[in-house]
Amino acid sequence: MSLFSNTSLRIDALPSLVEEEFEGLPLRYRTLRMAVYSIVMLLVFAALGVLMWFEWQEVNSFRWGVWLAFGAAIALGVMWALEEVKGFPLRGVVVREHDLSYRSGFFKRETVTVPFNRVQHSEIAQGPLSRAFNVCTLKLYTAGHSGANLRVPGMDVERAKRLRQQLDERVSQS
């Protein structure tokens, strides 16, 4: 019978994620994100334009609520654009010997790492727009969690399939 052991480790002794190891996502995923951004912003400003037109027809001026909505749409649009333009180069994935890490975000930077020996199953999701741009989302599920523990959006489909096959082989060997 082996005794329980829980030896403390120094943080310096743990393997680190090196920034240069992260591989960026395909540029066609950036194009997809910018297309979605453009469509949403076009719809928002078209709706605001219609609202402003009706407001002008009714009272020949704009009430403060219309200006507030217009200003909020511009502010949110600028923040979203910054996240897309400045944040996209920060997105990346690194596959190491024992784990997979995904990094994202400009305003809220986040790095999620999932060890391979904790992966229960994986999934590749691809909607109609993703299919058109030949990208997908790789989802990794671990025990005890109701949703995907790691989502890697914008992966190249063939690369995601190869990675998923490797993960499935590792899971079946355990």
Alpha-carbon dihedral sign for residues 4, 7, 8, 11: negative
The pLDDT assigned to 120 comes to 86
pLDDT of residue 145: 67
Selected residue with higher pLDDT from 168 and 62: 168
Structure tokens at 111: 């790095």
- What pLDDT digit, counting tens, does each position of 5-46 carry? 888 888 888 778 787 789 999 999 999 999 999 999 999 999
- Pairing of β 110-115 and β 150-156: unpaired
The predicted structure's pLDDT at residue 104: 95
Return the minimum-mean-pLDDT range out of 19-33, 48-62, 111-125, 145-159. 48-62
Where in the chain are the domains? Answer: 27-87, 90-173
Backbone angles phi, psi at 129, to 5 degrees: -65, -40
Whether the Cβ atoms of residue 136 and residue 126 lie closer than 8 Å to each other: yes
pTM of whole model > 0.85? no
Determine the pLDDT at residue 125. Answer: 96
Q: Give the other-Cβ count within 10 Å of 21's Cβ.
A: 13
Look at residue 161 and tell me whether its pLDDT is greater than 80. Answer: yes
Q: What is the pLDDT of residues 65-124, one digit of tens each?
A: 778 888 999 999 999 999 999 999 999 999 888 889 999 999 999 999 988 888 888 899
Domain 90-173 has CATH 1.20.5: no
Q: Give residue 1's pLDDT band: very low, low, confident or very high (50, 70, 90).
A: low
Q: What is the DSSP letter of 134?
A: T
